[in-house]
Amino acid sequence: GKELFYLYSNSLLGVRDDIILVDSNRVKRDNFRYKGMDIQSPDDVIPSLGKDSSVLITAFAHSDSIERNIKSMGFTGTIVRLIPA
């Protein structure tokens, strides 16, 4: 949510063209876009990412379960988690 929007607007994430937004929440996927980008299902994106890919988890409260889910989909790249200050 807010953390992603802040990072995207105030860091180099906003200038990259290889960003894919992913959320397991169907309501978000069906009703929201950000900077013209659709929000994708993890099931459609994560299994196709290679070992050179990175995933940034911005949801503090759910980061453990999100990371477990990503790994259970066979992801072998880098996982980066935001941590609150």
Three state DSSP letters for the chain: CHHHHHHHHHCHHHHCCCCCEECCCHHHHHHCEECCEEEECHHHHHHHCCCCCEEEECCHHHHHHHHHHHHHCCCCCEEEECCCC
Higher pLDDT, 20 or 17: 20
**pTM exceeds cut of 0.85:** no
Task: List, for residues 42-79, the tens digit of each pLDDT value.
Answer: 999 999 999 999 999 988 889 999 999 999 999 999 99
Whether pLDDT at 28 is above 70: yes
Token pair, residue 24, equals 């397991």
Q: Is the pLDDT of residue 1 over 70?
A: no
